[in-house]
A and B are shown apart, each in its own frame.
Chain A
Amino acid sequence: MNQINASDVRKVAGLARLDLPNDQLEEHAIQLEKILAYVEQLEKVDTTNIPPTTRAVEVVNVLREDVVTSTDIRDKLLALAPEREGDFFKVPKILSD
């Protein structure tokens, strides 16, 4: 046990852009530990010669025709954004030049 500490949680939260308060780090570390322990349990199953499963349904080559259907829903989608300016989505500045 104790594979995950508070600073790991802070790093993972940062990568996912989650703003976790410091007093919750420990709690999440414990929960993540439990998840990893469960994965460890799964790892005991012998999977030699079994191809990895990435999906629940085994379908291949699900394709569609190259056809345009116009969807004039710009305003509806813009309305979902926190902020808009004119017909653009408005976001905080990214590069400081």
Chain B
Amino acid sequence: MSSTTDTAWEAVIGLETHVQLGTNSKIFTNASTAFGDEPNTHIDPIVCGLPGTLPVLNQKVLEYAVKAAMALNLTIAQHSKFDRKQYFYPDLPKNYQISQFDEPIAEEGWIEIEVVEKGQETYLKKIGIERLHMEEDAGKLVHAGSDRLAGSKYSLVDYNRAGVALAEIVSKPDLRTGREAAEYASEIRRIMRYLGVSDGNMQEGSLRCDVNISVRPSSEAPFGTKVEIKNMNSFSAIQKACEYEIGRQIKAYEAGEAVIQETRLWDESKQLTKSMRSKEGSSDYRYFPDPDLGPIEITEKIKENWRNQLPELPSAKRHRFSKELGLSAYDARVLTDELNMAEYFEAAVEAGADAKSASNWITGDLSAYVNSKRLSFSDLCFQPAGLAEMINLINKGKISGKIAKDILPELLLSGASPKKIVEEKGLGMISDPEEITKIIIQLLESYPKEVESFRSGKYKLQGFFVGQLMKQTGGKADPKLANKILAEKLKG
């Protein structure tokens, strides 16, 4: 069934990402942007576009959009404006959407993504970004009155989301695989979260991606017919939808069929894309400048001010963690995924923790705790300085790693000082050679048979003695020292 041609098919993928900007009020009016409230509680005459109303741009939206654009290395337009995009669909109360057409707030940028694929070498790739513009979100349709046979008879509309501020980010067609597309989307989300301009919650729709995808028989061939895919609500869905669609298009071409330009929906339960009935004549948007909204001019001074407020971005942090702190690319990536985690790590290193140990504790035990309690690293009462203190106790041989793990739950709950807990409970490591020797001699006396077996060649028994020793000392014997003395005494 599979074809056997040697064609080096290549996919060409571009993403349109809608990011909900996390402002309190909507883009052009004071109505709330709260998610999940009763239907139509956050609407007003401006949202509904009633005659005589005047939309006014939310200054926070402009600030967030410009900061997002800066983080994506885009050039901020000196002069920008809003336009009306006409289309008729009931999720749009005004029959037009206020968007930006030929003068977006920013154009021509790029981000660097780090592509990790199982069994393949990790690589860096620069992905071009065409533009970023501001626009308003649409409402939500609930298809009701469904009677299985005829489908829904009518729709119900909730306009709470209508007028919520969006930044639409359009990539260049620089992506080549589903993995790259998913990584691009997750890097965009990471950047938006670092900036604090969006929570990027895909389940609640604060980050939505549409994929444009085509295939061509070689990397030199002209682009094939492109298909748009919608309805993916996770990064893995983006990857799978791309991979499915690439396979479908190649198969069509190899069977001598055409690929039709259309919009397809990703069906998560069936793991495939299916054709969506096209809205006829919907491509004629007849944009024109919105007469209600004045133009926007961003001065050098405003730009400088906002640029100075940008945090260090994920890719810069990744580079710094691996270059300056000597972490592996993998650790650097895990630690920088969430800003709170990265900041916790940096504070621990600042407080004197060794970077590699801090990374291990944070990505291991601490992450497990944070995830299981659904917390964030910024909520932890066990402070980064406490972690640094604990790591230093281990590295200076004051406590064993095992003791550290034993007291960790208490540290996480109380946020107490590890040093104090170790002192109070007498958990300090026994590192006095004489004391250890004394315990070992007693131990060997109580297991004469095992000692004899060891001496006659059953060297594996050393493990048994180590176990007994740890049991007797409650894990407090300095393992290195104990092993050394034990080996000497066992030899006899």
Contact = CB atoms under 8 A, between A and B. Distances in A.
A39 interface: no
Interface string B78-103: 00010000101110000100000000
B45 interface: yes
Given A15-B284, A72-B41, A87-B39, A67 B142 contact: no
Interface stretch (B129-137, B152-160, B355-363): B152-160
Given A64-B58, A89-B159, A73 B44 contact: yes
Contacts of A93: 143, 145, 151-155
A32 B276 CA distance: 36
A42 interface: no
A89 B39 CA distance: 9
B90 A94 contact: yes
Interface stretch (B168-176, B241-249, B291-299): B291-299
Nearest to B28: A64
Contacts of B277: 95-96
Contact of B31 (A61, A68, A88, A91): A68
Nearest to B285: A15
B294 A55 contact: yes
A64 to B, nearest CB: 5
B156 A85 contact: yes
Contacts of A57: 294
Interface in A29-86: 54-55, 57, 59-74, 77-78, 80, 85-86
A66 B291 contact: no
Interface residues of A, number: 38
A74 B144 contact: no
Nearest to B26: A68
Interface in B45-97: 45, 48, 50, 56-62, 81, 86, 88-90, 95
B165 to A, nearest CB: 10
Contact of B154 (A59, A67, A91): A91
A8 B31 CA distance: 41
B30 interface: yes
B294 A61 contact: yes
B289 A54 contact: yes
Nearest to B34: A68
Given A72-B41, A89-B159, A60 B56 contact: no
Contacts of B158: 88
A62 B293 contact: yes
Given A15-B281, A88-B157, A61 B90 contact: no
Nearest to A60: B297
A71 B363 CA distance: 46
Nearest to A17: B88
B431 interface: no
Given A15-B284, A61-B296, A85 B144 contact: yes
A39 B39 CA distance: 46
B437 interface: no
A69 B30 contact: yes
Most buried by B among A55, A64, A78, A90: A64
Contact of A63 (B62, B88, B276): B62
B42 to A, nearest CB: 8
B88 A66 contact: no
B294 A77 contact: no
B294 A60 contact: yes
Interface in B233-256: none
B66 to A, nearest CB: 12
Contacts of A92: 154-155
Contacts of A96: 151, 277
A34 B151 CA distance: 47
Contact of B157 (A62, A69, A89): A89
A55 B290 CA distance: 9
Given A17-B88, A64-B59, A88 B39 contact: yes
B117 interface: no
Nearest to A63: B59
A67 B60 CA distance: 10
Contact of B297 (A61, A64, A71, A90): A61
Contact of A91 (B48, B95, B155): B155
A19 interface: no
Contacts of B61: 66
Nearest to A53: B289
A78 B25 CA distance: 21
A62 B296 CA distance: 8
A65 B58 CA distance: 6
A90 B95 CA distance: 16
Interface in B1-52: 23-25, 30-32, 38-41, 43-45, 48, 50
B58 A63 contact: yes
27 contacts: A54-B81, A54-B289, A54-B291, A54-B295, A60-B296, A62-B293, A63-B58, A64-B59, A65-B60, A66-B23, A66-B24, A66-B59, A68-B30, A69-B30, A71-B43, A77-B48, A86-B39, A89-B159, A91-B154, A92-B154, A92-B155, A93-B153, A93-B154, A93-B155, A94-B155, A95-B276, A96-B277
Given A60-B296, A77-B48, 8 more contacts: A62-B56, A64-B59, A65-B58, A66-B60, A77-B43, A85-B156, A92-B155, A94-B141
Closest 3 CB pairs between A and B? A88-B156, A66-B60, A63-B59
